[in-house]
Amino acid sequence: MTQPILHVRDLAVAFDIRPQGAWPWTKPLKLHAVGGVSFDLAPGECLGVVGESGSGKSTLARAIVGTIPATSGEVLFEGQDLASMSVSERRVHRKDVQMIFQDPLAALNPRMTVGDIIAEPLTTHYPQTPASEVKARVGELMERVGLLPNLINRYPHEFSGGQCQRIGIARALILQPKLLICDEPVSALDVSVQAQVVNLLAELRRDMGLSMIFIAHDLSVVKHISDRIAVMYLGKLMEMAEAKTLCTVPQHPYTQALISSVPIPDPVLEAARKRPILEGELPSPLAPPSGCVFRTRCPKAQASCAEAPPRVEVLEGDHRVACPFHAPMDVLERA
Amino acid sequence: MTMQSVAGDVSGAEVIEGRSLWQDAKRRFLKNKAAVVSAFVFLFLCIFAFFGQFLSQYDRETIDFTLMGANAYKGVPSFETGHYFGVDSDGRDLYARTVQGLRISIMIGIVGSLVAGIVGTLYGATAGYLGGRVDGIMMRTVDVLMSIPFMFVLILMLVMFGRSITILFIGVGLISWLDMSRIVRGQTLSIKNKEFVEAAVAIGVSPAKIILRHIVPNLIGVVVVYMSLLVPTMILTESFISFLGLGVQEPNTSLGALLNRGAGALQSGVTTWQFYFPLTVFIVLLFALFFIGDGLRDALDPKDR
């Protein structure tokens, strides 16, 4: 395997939560948004991250980009530890890792023209670039992401959600980053536009040789674009495998539940299939269950699950599962 | 999208000018008739305040001795004598004095709200954006400054450093930004959690640039509205100080000082116009400013979008 572009080891992010009405000197509660996540990302690879709301996907993305400080663990980007860098060093490094946001309109400053928004990374990192070149680059990129360059002086509120997301993509790509982190880039768009944006991203990734981390809560979207998929639950990685393997032979009970919750557009098959349905709610990340965090909702939970966090087992084809009772689900039953 | 702009998109040749939120706000402001009329009234008052003295043959300080002892019946407002607003109880031309008083009042209002607008905005935005301990220290400083009775300090300053218009300007400037910084900080707290600010952080924009480029432009709506409402407050403050006899000194005057003298004249019941002319100008000015502020608030209110 080639040198990974991104190497994440035991990354943990915790937030201090001060209960309402507490004394100033009481210790704040720790909200463990991400706990001990490790993975490698090869150059040009796309890793999909799925999980339900509150599973720490976005926090993971922000910790890698660096807008939220990591509590522990390391994030090595091309062998350099991003977490231990000084603020100014870090700022220089930001041009290699760019991010696309969930809410396309909210991610654009309403008082700036589209041209200024897209040019901002360029004018920030290369302030001496002549204005004509900036304009040419912006026009080029707008065309590349499917926007007409003559819209350069428009404002974000004059665009649709899909167009705004294209603007966000153009802004992320103007510095030709090596790693692109997409934080639920399509969840705020409607389905037809989702497909366009996902296809655009896939195309750009192929053409520019981007590495990507693609976060979504919709498995079918992630499956389409990713090489590998990681499944998160309550800040922990549950399972990580090749996209196809994960979708056809999921090993972890949580992944199995996730996959079987995707509806089949055929009422006969839909009614006939057996599926493990998850009960209850996501436990509070303020007081996660001991041992395996999924045990409170797991259909296969045993007494031993409460004792220690499950060891990650590596199966054939770098298929990682954090469950000692993993077993493939009957695929025929599913489809 | 209208058909026309679709056609423009397809041709793709010429660059389409976008309509910024400011242009939208301008359109909304121009629709508000009271605000537009008030804006013209205010403009007229400004022209009057700065150029009105050229219409009169008298200046603000010379006593018209031809009316000596006969102010009550010869000094009445009249075009014949050239004393359009009459004379005050000392025999000085009230028109010239009103023009000059209005000028001082408008200047006080504008200086006060400009200081508030610039200092208050930058201070509040910095405190709000940096947050944490810096925010705590900066805002507690504001709290401490606010807890000092401002009128008392201003009066003390005027007594200690002598009664001058400069001290009055400094005094008004010193306090006017406190409220503004609080309002701006509150707004900043909500703006800094927007994704475009996070996007700027992720891009690597420095905090100072984020404040100036991303936060302040999005605050301007609130700031402009508050500034326009601050102008009348500042004028009222100055009027109060001058009414106490501490502000502007003779032979200079201000609307507050004129009203003070006018109120005295009202009591003696002789030169009553001395009260009504400055009062009219004062009320027209305040109403115009409040309507402008109101119109700006409606035009810039983000909820309208």
Residue A73 pLDDT class (50, 70, 90 cuts) = confident
Q: Cβ of A115 under 8 Å from any chain B Cβ?
A: no
Neighbours of A278 (CB within 10 A): 19
Residue span of the structural domain in which B149 resides: 23-51+86-304
Contacts of B131 in chain A (CB under 8 A): none
Neighbours of A12 (CB within 10 A): 17
Taking the C-alpha atoms of residue B126 and residue A46, their distance in angstroms, rounded to an integer, is 39
Please answer yes or no on whether A157 and B305 come within 8 Å at the CB atom: yes
In a domain, B35, yes or no: yes
Tens of pLDDT, residue by residue over A162-214, are: 999 999 999 999 988 999 999 988 888 888 888 889 999 999 998 888 999 99
SS3 per-residue string spanning chain A: CCCCCEEEEEEEEEEEECCCCCCCCCCCEEEEEEEEEEEEECCCCEEEEECCCCCCHHHHHHHHHCCCCCCEEEEEECCEECCCCCHHHHHHHHHHEEEECCCCCCCCCCCCCHHHHHHHHHHHHCCCCCHHHHHHHHHHHHHHCCCCHHHCECCHHHCCHHHHHHHHHHHHHCCCCCEEEEECCCCCCCHHHHHHHHHHHHHHHHHHCCEEEEECCCHHHHHHHCCEEEEEECCEEEEEEEHHHHHHCCCCHHHHHHHHCCCCCCHHHHHHCCCCCCCCCCCCCCCCCCCCCCHHHCCCCCHHHHCCCCCCEEECCCEEECCCCCCCCCHHHHC
Sign of CA dihedral A316, A322, A328, A334: negative
| Mean pLDDT confidence for B39-45 | 91
Q: Cβ of B16 under 8 Å from any chain A Cβ?
A: yes
Name the DSSP letter for residue B250.
T
Of the candidates B20, B194, B201, the beta carbon closest to that of A106 is on B194
Per the structure, the count of domains in chain B is: 1
Q: What is the pLDDT of residue B128?
A: 93
Please answer yes or no on whether B198 and A150 come within 8 Å at the CB atom: no
| Mean pLDDT confidence for A98-110 | 89
- The answer to whether B127 and B139 are in contact (CB under 8 A) is yes
Joined tokens for residue A269: 């098959």
In a domain, B268, yes or no: yes
Q: Cβ of B269 under 8 Å from any chain A Cβ?
A: no
Taking the C-alpha atoms of residue B95 and residue B85, their distance in angstroms, rounded to an integer, is 5
Of the candidates B194, B201, B213, the beta carbon closest to that of A67 is on B201
Reply yes or no on whether the pLDDT at A27 is more than 90: no
Joined tokens for residue A188: 């705020």
The domain ranges of chain A are 248-335
Of the candidates A91, A107, A111, the beta carbon closest to that of B199 is on A107
Please answer yes or no on whether A114 and B18 come within 8 Å at the CB atom: yes
Nearest-5° Cα angle at A300, A265 to A331: 35
Token pair 């065309």: residue: A143
Please answer yes or no on whether B195 and A109 come within 8 Å at the CB atom: no
Of the candidates A111, A114, A158, the beta carbon closest to that of B218 is on A111
Backbone angles phi, psi at A42, to 5 degrees: -80, 155
Identify from A150, A164, A165 which residue to disrupt to test chain B contact, counting B C-beta atoms within 10 A and taking the largest count.
A150
Q: Cβ of A102 under 8 Å from any chain B Cβ?
A: yes
Residue B27 pLDDT class (50, 70, 90 cuts) = confident
The whole-angstrom distance between B50's CA and the closest CA on chain A is: 35
Please answer yes or no on whether A154 and B16 come within 8 Å at the CB atom: yes
Of the candidates B195, B209, B305, the beta carbon closest to that of A101 is on B195
Smallest CA–CA distance from B2 into chain A, residue: A158
What ipTM did this prediction achieve? 0.84
Q: What is the pLDDT of residue B305?
A: 42
Reply yes or no on whether the pLDDT at B77 is more than 80: no
Smallest CA–CA distance from A121 into chain B, residue: B203
Contacts of A103 in chain B (CB under 8 A): 195
Structural Rg of chain B based on CA atoms: 24
Pairing of strands A228-233, A46-50: parallel
Contacts of B305 in chain A (CB under 8 A): 157
Taking the C-alpha atoms of residue B165 and residue B144, their distance in angstroms, rounded to an integer, is 26
CATH code for the domain in which residue B199 is found: 1.10.3720.10
Contacts of B214 in chain A (CB under 8 A): 109
- Of the candidate ranges A313-322, B48-57, B280-289, the one whose mean pLDDT is the lowest: B48-57
**Counting beta carbons within 10 angstroms of the beta carbon of residue A217, is it exposed (0 to 12), middle (13 to 18) or buried (19 or more)?**
middle
Token pair 């102010």: residue: B71
| CA neighbor of B282 nearest in space, from B247, B236, B227 | B236
Tens of pLDDT, residue by residue over A107-155, are: 998 888 899 999 999 998 888 989 999 999 999 999 999 898 888 888 8
Most confident of A251-265, A266-280, B175-189: B175-189
Contacts of A92 in chain B (CB under 8 A): 204
The whole-angstrom distance between B43's CA and the closest CA on chain A is: 28
SS3 per-residue string spanning A318-331: CEEECCCCCCCCCH
Taking the C-alpha atoms of residue A116 and residue A121, their distance in angstroms, rounded to an integer, is 9
Q: Cβ of B303 under 8 Å from any chain A Cβ?
A: no
Q: Which residues contact B207 (CB under 8 A, 6 or more apart)?
A: B129, B130
Walk across the sheet containing A179-183 and list its strands: A97-100, A179-183, A211-215, A46-50, A228-233, A236-242, A319-321, A313-315
Q: Cβ of A177 under 8 Å from any chain B Cβ?
A: no
The whole-angstrom distance between A65's CA and the closest CA on chain B is: 6
Please answer yes or no on whether A67 and B214 come within 8 Å at the CB atom: no
Q: What is the pLDDT of residue B136?
A: 92
Q: Which residues contact B267 (CB under 8 A, 6 or more apart)?
A: none
Q: What is the pLDDT of residue A229?
A: 92
| Mean pLDDT confidence for A277-293 | 81
In a domain, B158, yes or no: yes
Q: Cβ of B23 under 8 Å from any chain A Cβ?
A: no
The whole-angstrom distance between A148's CA and the closest CA on chain B is: 7
- The answer to whether A322 and A242 are in contact (CB under 8 A) is no
In a domain, B151, yes or no: yes
Joined tokens for residue B109: 């209002």
